[in-house]
Structure 1
Amino acid sequence: MTDTPFRPFDSLLDRDTALSHLQEATRGADDGELFLERHRSEGLLFDDGRVKTASYDASEGFGLRAVRGEVTGYAHSSEVNDAALMRAVETARLAVGEGGGSLADAPARTNRRLYTDADPIAGASFPVKLETLREIDAFARDLDARVVQVSASIAASLQEVTILRPDGTEVSDTRPMTRVNVSIIVDDQGRREQGSAGGGGRVGLDGMLDPADWQAKTREALRIALVNLRAEPAPAGVMDVVLGPGWPGILLHEAIGHGLEGDFNRKGSSAFAGLMGQRIAAPGVTVLDDGTIPDRRGSITFDDEGTPSGKNVLIEDGILVGYMHDRQNARLMGVAPTGNGRRESYAHAPMPRMTNTYMLGGEAEPGDLVAELKDGIYAVGFGGGQVDITNGKFVFSCTEAYRVKNGKIGAPVKGATLIGDGATALNQIRALGNDMALDPGMGNCGKQGQWVPVGVGQPTVLIGGLTVGGSATS
């Protein structure tokens, strides 16, 4: 482990030579960059009273990209030296050919700081991290005699990037990430149920290892497990649904957010393609993607092309007003980049991706929305889900949900799934609570084999006529 800052042009490459190679790779291209990265991560998992895994990973490399029209030439290497860079130039130039394009202007610069640049891995010693996990395990078992298994994990990472553009513009960013998760299994007379809680962000480990923080997560995981212990089979049928605030915004992210990414719309494969300026949601619905929120999991000072992150309005009062763009799709669609060009690592080319995607709150009291339900579901926790980008159809499983009849919250239900499509769900929103909240910092988003950290959020939302999949007759 090293505390030396990542300065690739001080130790690995000569900057002038690297710039010359990049300029040769992008000669006749519309765009391109040299993306250099060092990434370190540590993970500890304490499961059922013992250390199950302890890992430390380190990687370093570069990605060289040249773009002409819709074609991208991309080469990457874990060796950061002049020879590897010269080979990458040959590969990238295959996409450019002998074209006569002109390079797009470089992104604007920013001095904004959204998070610390301290290494979270070094924020606590290994023995302290291990002892914290042991304390979580003991604390959970002391809370309730029905606890039979506890899994607790601590993860920390530091990504350092430098982006060099053909005009000589250079930007660097240091991106920390931490997360603590707790999962608990309870047993009551042979019936076993599970509950999980966790979160984090671009923050140090000191706050995450504070007993007040992990004890709250542990209590929440136990609460969910005990709720599920008394859950009844979920009903099935078409019914009104109230979604809780915060993490249930993952449904918004998947069912709507991906459909508003620029590449899907440029290619016409999104359910929202060609609808700019038209009403796609109920009045009052405003959705943003905002990478500028300090310390949040999905935030980035600038994206992986060097464009400063933005607070981008996607839907305003029900009207589609914007998509999320990287530089290539923005140029091809004749609009400005939005700071959403992201990549998993140096081994991947950037593409339009979400950062922190959320729906603004309304004026209704959350309790009033539940009181409006005559016969429906109140869903406050979600697990996995699937969505088809071309038509927006989604299926999401609930990890915590309740049956509601005549405005009264009844028994928790198990096995509930929400089925619908994003476009219809947007238009069937009947009311928005005044309690907009962001998730606790646990989201990851996959697209075309790449994973990036993201955030989600929303207020309490009343949606009419979703299909609920379950095992009981409504």
Structure 2
Amino acid sequence: MPRALASSRRARPAQLAPPAARQAAASPLLPPGLLERLLAEAMGRGADFAEVYVERTSTTAVVLEEQRIRSAQVGLVQGVGVRVIAGAKVGYAYSDDWDEAALLRAARTAAMIAQGGGSERAYPVKRVPVPSHYRVGQPLEDVAVARKTALLTRADKASRAFDSRIQQVNASYVDQTRRIAVANTTGRFSEDTQDQSRMSVHVVALGKNGERRTGMYGSGGRVSFSYWDGVTPESVAEEAARQAIATLGAVDCVAGPQTVVLAPGWSGILLHEAVGHGLEADFIRKGTSLFAGKLGEKVASELVTVIDDGTVSSARGSINIDDEGVPGERKVLIENGVLKGYLYDQLNAKLMNQRSTGSGRRESFKSLPLPRMTNTFLAPGDHAPEDILKEVKRGLYCATFGGGQVDISNGNFVFEVSEAYQIEDGKLGRPVKNAILIGVGPEALKNISRVGCDPMPDPGMGICVKDGQMLPVGVGLPTVRIDNVTVGGTKVG
């Protein structure tokens, strides 16, 4: 698909948010009249569709290292992006200058890139109501930075108090108050305010003979600052410390095919990467996904139902509207093992004669929207988690995952397991190190033989990267048993 990106002005780096910007937060980002003029300018050379995306995002980022606050930054980024679609051609231009003349130049630039036929008409827009899946009373940008830095100081203290073997603690806190407005030539005009808060703690434990083990944990979501009264910095820090201490004395992982049991919650990252990306419509349309052309076919065990849901209350990946102004949805992608649907943004939906599923997301006004996941999880089954474990004579229990990578074209995945344990005669044994799961997404789905009745979302720390764009996402699953998984390790069984 031919696509171009142009800018009428280079975006400025994040800067201190002036009080005037906060006072203006309750007013419209851009008046409807100006949005209509920009749409008319964008369609001036003729096209099928034009869209104006407006964003103002304030961010606070605090970092603690070596028992000291190393940085505390507050910034404001704002800008306007204009997209024009003519057939399969896309023109996109953006500006961080909100002067009307600069915005009109951006609209003309996008129109010239798309190069449609000539047209002159008005494109009135009407504000539409949006759902509310998250409600934050006090915007996070209005909370004093000192209160946010205090969270990290408490986390550092709690990590070190957990065990004397905790030698190093790094912690970070990031929040955003993001306001967006989207108007397009269908007449739709919608706005949303998206607050997001996240804290993470990374620790290093030092054991006998200089052995070093790490632990990492985080939490957050589309929540108010009072969230940290319940999910305290101490609880986040103690879980990170627990992981590091629990894996001291770990033995080498045995390589070879094994029965693997996934812990509930964060293990859903495996589902997100190995399956979810392959169901995004751009990969489907281009035929580069292993799931292309398989609607209605059995692609997984009958125990497997995969759902992407942008409507989960206050979850990290939830959206009232996506970044094309379409309301978030609950989408059943795989039902009882049968492939039921894909994730569509507006462009790919149009080219594939489908409708958008509210999956068009972008990192900022400088980015084109892409079909992306929101909160992706495996529906619960009927098996008790303790029974799933008891049935395994010998295998690997994966408690926490680290990094991983997936090839969308063939489904091949490789995932590092940061906290794992031997399973022997239905019980957890010694911790193991250097465990890696290797496989093919659809094959792993077909080898799922038990799905627990204990669904659990991740704690709210997921970040997904696609085409260089980073977005918050959620994952989750119950306890799951997968048979015949190739495990990479440092010891021959």
Q: TM-score, normalised by structure 1?
A: 0.94
Q: Which amino acid in structure 2 is aligned with residue 87 of structure 1?
A: R
Cα separation, partners in 2 of 1:243 and 1:422, compared to 1, 3 Å: same
Counterparts of 1:108 and 1:20, CA distance in 2: 16
* Matched-pair contact (CA < 8 Å) for 1:30–1:104: no
1:22 matched residue in structure 2: 39
1:460 matched residue in structure 2: 479
Aligned to 2:441, which of 422, 433, 437?
Answer: 422
1:191 matched residue in structure 2: 211
1:145 matched residue in structure 2: 164
Deviation track 1:89-140 (CA, whole Å, cap 9, x = no partner) reads 22211344234899999999444211124321323x2333333322222222
Counterparts of 2:152 and 2:28, CA distance in 1: 40
Indicate the larger mover: 306-315 or 129-138. Answer: 129-138
Deviation track 1:165-188 (CA, whole Å, cap 9, x = no partner) reads 224432110000101112221112
Establish whether residue 325 from structure 1 lines up as the match of residue 325 from structure 2: no
Q: Secondary structure at the match of 1:218?
A: helix
Cα separation, partners in 2 of 1:328 and 1:132, compared to 1, 3 Å: closer
Deviation track 1:304-332 (CA, whole Å, cap 9, x = no partner) reads 00100000010011000100000111111
1:131 matched residue in structure 2: 150
Counterparts of 1:128 and 1:192, CA distance in 2: 32
Counterparts of 1:437 and 1:261, CA distance in 2: 24
Q: Which amino acid in structure 1 is aligned with residue 35 of structure 2?
A: A
Establish whether residue 180 from structure 1 lines up as the match of residue 207 from structure 2: no
Q: Secondary structure at the match of 1:338?
A: coil
1:78 matched residue in structure 2: 96
Deviation at 1:405, TM superposition (A): 2.3
* Matched-pair contact (CA < 8 Å) for 2:127–2:190: no
Q: Secondary structure at the match of 2:239?
A: helix
4+ residue runs over 6 A deviation: 100-108
Within a 5 Å distance, the mapping from 1:40-79 to structure 2 comes to 40-79=58-97
Q: Which amino acid in structure 1 is aligned with residue 426 of structure 2?
A: G
* Matched-pair contact (CA < 8 Å) for 2:82–2:94: yes
Deviation at 1:472, TM superposition (A): 0.9
Cα separation, partners in 2 of 1:310 and 1:5, compared to 1, 3 Å: farther
Cα separation, partners in 2 of 1:212 and 1:352, compared to 1, 3 Å: closer
Counterparts of 1:386 and 1:198, CA distance in 2: 21
Deviation at 1:206, TM superposition (A): 2.1
Within a 5 Å distance, the mapping from 1:188-227 to structure 2 comes to 188-189=207-208, 190-208=210-228, 210=229, 213-227=232-246
Q: Which amino acid in structure 1 is aligned with residue 438 of structure 2?
A: I
Cα separation, partners in 2 of 1:211 and 1:183, compared to 1, 3 Å: farther
Counterparts of 1:8 and 1:258, CA distance in 2: 37
Within a 5 Å distance, the mapping from 1:377-396 to structure 2 comes to 377-396=396-415
Indicate the larger mover: 191-200 or 306-315. Answer: 191-200
Cα separation, partners in 2 of 1:277 and 1:110, compared to 1, 3 Å: farther
Aligned to 1:336, which of 355, 358, 362?
Answer: 355
* Matched-pair contact (CA < 8 Å) for 1:282–1:430: yes
Cα separation, partners in 2 of 1:14 and 1:203, compared to 1, 3 Å: closer
Counterparts of 1:338 and 1:257, CA distance in 2: 14
Indicate the larger mover: 257-266 or 114-123. Answer: 114-123
Q: Which amino acid in structure 1 is aligned with residue 381 of structure 2?
A: G
Q: Secondary structure at the match of 1:142?
A: helix
Counterparts of 2:313 and 2:118, CA distance in 1: 41
Q: Secondary structure at the match of 1:138?
A: helix
1:121 matched residue in structure 2: 141
Counterparts of 1:77 and 1:150, CA distance in 2: 40
Q: Structure 1: where are the runs of 5+ without partners?
A: none
* Matched-pair contact (CA < 8 Å) for 1:31–1:103: no
Q: Secondary structure at the match of 1:437?
A: coil
* Matched-pair contact (CA < 8 Å) for 1:18–1:85: no
Q: Percent identity?
A: 41
1:248 matched residue in structure 2: 267
Deviation at 1:5, TM superposition (A): 4.2
Counterparts of 2:148 and 2:405, CA distance in 1: 35
1:39 matched residue in structure 2: 57
Q: Secondary structure at the match of 1:216?
A: helix
Q: Secondary structure at the match of 1:195?
A: strand
Counterparts of 1:363 and 1:153, CA distance in 2: 38
Deviation at 1:164, TM superposition (A): 1.6
Q: Secondary structure at the match of 1:136?
A: helix
Counterparts of 1:14 and 1:428, CA distance in 2: 54
Establish whether residue 366 from structure 1 lines up as the match of residue 376 from structure 2: no
Counterparts of 2:374 and 2:122, CA distance in 1: 27
Query: May I ask how many residue pairs the two structures share in their alignment?
Result: 470
Counterparts of 1:300 and 1:175, CA distance in 2: 8
Q: TM-score, normalised by structure 2?
A: 0.91
Counterparts of 2:216 and 2:296, CA distance in 1: 41
Cα separation, partners in 2 of 1:110 and 1:357, compared to 1, 3 Å: farther
* Matched-pair contact (CA < 8 Å) for 2:124–2:187: no
2:278 matched residue in structure 1: 259
Cα separation, partners in 2 of 1:346 and 1:277, compared to 1, 3 Å: same
1:234 matched residue in structure 2: 253
Q: Which amino acid in structure 2 is aligned with residue 299 of structure 1?
A: S
Indicate the larger mover: 136-145 or 66-75. Answer: 136-145
Counterparts of 2:128 and 2:242, CA distance in 1: 46
Q: Which amino acid in structure 2 is aligned with residue 248 of structure 1?
A: S
Q: Structure 2: where are the runs of 5+ without partners?
A: 1-16
Cα separation, partners in 2 of 1:19 and 1:341, compared to 1, 3 Å: same
2:3 matched residue in structure 1: none
Deviation at 1:158, TM superposition (A): 0.8
Q: Which amino acid in structure 2 is aligned with residue 456 of structure 1?
A: V
RMSD: 2.2
Q: Which amino acid in structure 2 is aligned with residue 49 of structure 1?
A: Q
Deviation at 1:7, TM superposition (A): 6.6
Deviation track 1:32-61 (CA, whole Å, cap 9, x = no partner) reads 210000011111111121112222221110
* Matched-pair contact (CA < 8 Å) for 1:68–1:95: no
Within a 5 Å distance, the mapping from 1:152-167 to structure 2 comes to 152-167=171-186
* Matched-pair contact (CA < 8 Å) for 2:36–2:123: no
Q: Which amino acid in structure 2 is aligned with residue 21 of structure 1?
A: L
Deviation at 1:160, TM superposition (A): 0.5
Q: Secondary structure at the match of 1:205?
A: coil
Counterparts of 1:25 and 1:293, CA distance in 2: 35
Q: Which amino acid in structure 1 is aligned with residue 139 of structure 2?
A: D
